[in-house]
Amino acid sequence: MTALTDVAAGATTTPETPAPPGRGSRKSLRERFPGLALPALIWYAVFMIGPVVAMIVIGFLSWPGMLVKPGFAGLKNFGRVFADENFWSAIGNSAIQIVVGLPVMMVLAFLLAFYVVQKPRGHKVLRYLLFIPALISAPATAMVFYAMLNPDGLLNGVLRPLGFDGTAWLADPSTALGAVIAVELWSGIGYSAVLIASRLDSVDAEIVQAARIDGAGDWRIAWGMYWPIARDFIGVVTMLQFLSMLFNSAQTVLLLTQGGPGTSTTTLSYLVYRKAFVETDLGYSQAVGVILFLLGLLGMGAIRRVLRATH
Amino acid sequence: MPRTALRPLRDRVGSITSGTLAWIYAALLIVPFYYFIVSSFKSNDEIFESPLALPGTWDFGNFATAISQADLILAVANSALTTVGALVLTLLLALPASFALARSTGRLGKIVESVFALGFLIPSFAALFPTFLLAAALGLFHSRTFVVFLLPATALPLSIVILTSFMRTIPRELEEAASMDGASTLQVLRQVYLPICVPGIATVLLLNFLSFWNAYLYPLILTGPDTAQRTIQVALPTLKVDAGTDYGVLMAGTLFTLLPVYLVYTILQKQMQRALVSGALKG
């Protein structure tokens, strides 16, 4: 209790003062009104909540460029968005990214976590490696994959001797979106696995042992015991990765493909970026932002429904 | 592993698959690393001809080129300045707030707390453009300063949730004893709460260090084209050019940006893993 003695040393009363019974010293407003939280609250309101509110407002403005004075547009932006093919292909790309990418990520992460918590040989090395993607910035990850996926890069260098024709993975419309999703999987699986493993670690080893004696194998233990126990936690991790895919794919796309070729890798969040900063169609951009926000909420609700605790 | 052959085939297949999958993924993590580290010592020709071979000569020329071409030393300095500034600001805001929220007994405290907790749901990225307008309105556009102001706001929800839950574990009697002795609120925070919360503070610092150092899109938009202000993450992709990227130089630059994070991770490995896990747990 050095802290306490420090305080006592600086004060005039004796350090031996015993803790007084709680109720007597209730001091008032200070206890009920968290005044010291005010600076953080204001900061948060100005830099985070403010911009989100502004985003919603701008979604209803007609604002075709920074230097133009904005006017009120009502639902016109949304009408334009819904009539635009680019928007629908962005919806399609984001849907593929999430409907295909997310389940693959979570199932693989779960299996990986299950494997790691069994403490097989080399599990320490594995745990160390799984963290790598969590440490690396999006630009660094993207640059490494940009080098590997270029026509003369590692992937084609490995495939050609095996008799496959390589392709320009990021420039070929049929592979570009897959490549972007693969990069996201690469960085997401390990991190999710580490998180899920931290939950699986707390599963009672004795129950597992008992199940093994009763003849249950790994596959059954993984899906029959660990999965149901960790289900709601996996739900939390799934939400985390869902939001990160939906909202942050813009940076990976910007760094790797700029949405191309054509619109084959334009995701919703990249569309928000491109409309705002490349085409300066601000009303349109923020209208998509609002839609993205709503989709995020809907998706979170859906994930909660599917993966809530059942036991 | 000493298992009997009596187990159903499906189960043996299961354990073999999960092991195989695990090590395939491990290979997928290592191979890109190996590739980009050896590439950073090679020329384009060498990289294209034999991507997996060790470099003929260990030439640091690519590093020198990358550093001078993208002004990486200046960029590292900018990143360090931005990161440290934002970390300090985050603690200055989050510590008193968590302290107040952990002690507060009324409804208002609960409301404020849930406002911060809801912050996890805010897609701050979608609001990139209004943030950009805000920077312009404050006259801080195209400067690091605004990034230093903005990053703590993005980190507040998680930091406050973590620190508040930490401070809740501190018994009230401890604090009451201190205030009986005449300690002011701030003294109680500084001398009773802070020392006990060191692990929580370390968690918050490590977590935020990673996200601040690795931030890309915000700094890209907010610091704009000014090379004197840009961070390392913004500088790195400029090594990629539309026609004829020098991959050796690009990979050398990438390796250079990873060194500080890798250094911190190696030194603080245990704490960092714990921080990342507990950080996401709360989210």
CB contact under 8 A, B124 and A10: no
Strands A61-62 and A71-72 come out as antiparallel
Low-confidence ranges of chain A (pLDDT < 70): 1-33, 309-311
Instruction: Tell me which architecture the domain covering A76-306 has in CATH.
Output: Orthogonal Bundle (1.10)
**For B238-261, what is each residue's pLDDT tens digit?**
888 877 788 888 999 999 999 888
Q: What is the pLDDT of residue A219?
A: 79
Interface of A with B in 214-243 (CB under 8 A): 215-220, 222, 236-237, 240, 243
Provide, as residue numbers in chain A, all residues whose Cβ is less than 8 Å from the Cβ of B210. Answer: 134-135
Q: How far is B139 from chain A (nearest CA, A)?
A: 15
Give the chain A residue whose CA is nearest to the CA of B129: A276
Chain B contact present for A4, CB below 8 A: yes
Regarding predicted confidence, which is higher, B281 or A173? A173
Segment B115-131 shows an average pLDDT of 80
Provide, as residue numbers in chain B, all residues whose Cβ is less than 8 Å from the Cβ of A254. Answer: 217
Give the chain A residue whose CA is nearest to the CA of B231: A139
Q: What is the pLDDT of residue A182?
A: 93
Chain B contact present for A3, CB below 8 A: yes
- Other C-beta atoms lying within 10 Å of the C-beta of residue A17: 15
Give the chain B residue whose CA is nearest to the CA of A246: B123
A70: left (phi over 0), alpha (psi -120 to 50) or beta: beta
Percentage of chain B lying above the pLDDT 70 cut: 91
CB contact under 8 A, B96 and A40: yes
Give the chain A residue whose CA is nearest to the CA of B101: A34
Segment B62-80 shows an average pLDDT of 89
CB contact under 8 A, A131 and B25: no
Provide, as residue numbers in chain A, all residues whose Cβ is less than 8 Å from the Cβ of B182. Answer: 11-13
**For B191-214, what is each residue's pLDDT tens digit?**
888 888 888 888 889 889 988 999
Report the largest interatomic distance among the alpha carbons of chain B, rounded to a whole angstrom: 76
CB contact under 8 A, B214 and A131: no
Q: For chain A, where do the domains classified as CATH 1.10.3720.10 start and end?
A: 76-306
Using CB atoms, pick whichever of B10, B126, B182 lies closest to residue A272. B126
**For A150-172, what is each residue's pLDDT tens digit?**
888 888 888 888 878 778 888 88
Q: How far is A197 from chain B (nearest CA, A)?
A: 10
Regarding predicted confidence, which is higher, B8 or B209? B209
Provide, as residue numbers in chain B, all residues whose Cβ is less than 8 Å from the Cβ of A150. Answer: 245, 247
Q: A265: closest CA among A279, A276, A278, A251?
A: A251
CB contact under 8 A, A217 and B177: no
Among A130, A136, A253, pick the best mutation site for testing chain B contact (most B Cβ within 10 A): A136
Please give the single-letter amino acid code of residue A183: V
**For B150-185, what is each residue's pLDDT tens digit?**
999 999 988 998 888 888 888 877 777 777 777 777
CB contact under 8 A, B48 and A152: yes
Q: What is the pLDDT of residue A151?
A: 83
Q: What is the pLDDT of residue A310?
A: 61
CB contact under 8 A, B22 and A111: yes
Whether the predicted pLDDT of B102 surpasses 80: yes
C-beta contacts of A17-22 below 8 A and 24+ residues apart: A17/B177, A17/B180, A17/B181, A18/B177, A19/B173, A19/B174, A19/B176, A19/B177, A20/B173, A20/B176, A20/B177, A20/B180, A22/B172, A22/B173, A22/B176
Using CB atoms, pick whichever of A7, A46, A147 lies closest to residue B251. A147
Provide, as residue numbers in chain A, all residues whose Cβ is less than 8 Å from the Cβ of B51. Answer: 153-154, 157-158
Using CB atoms, pick whichever of A136, A140, A293 lies closest to residue B123. A293
Distance (Å, whole) CA A230 – CA A232: 6
Provide the ipTM: 0.86
Q: B101: closest CA among A26, A43, A31?
A: A31
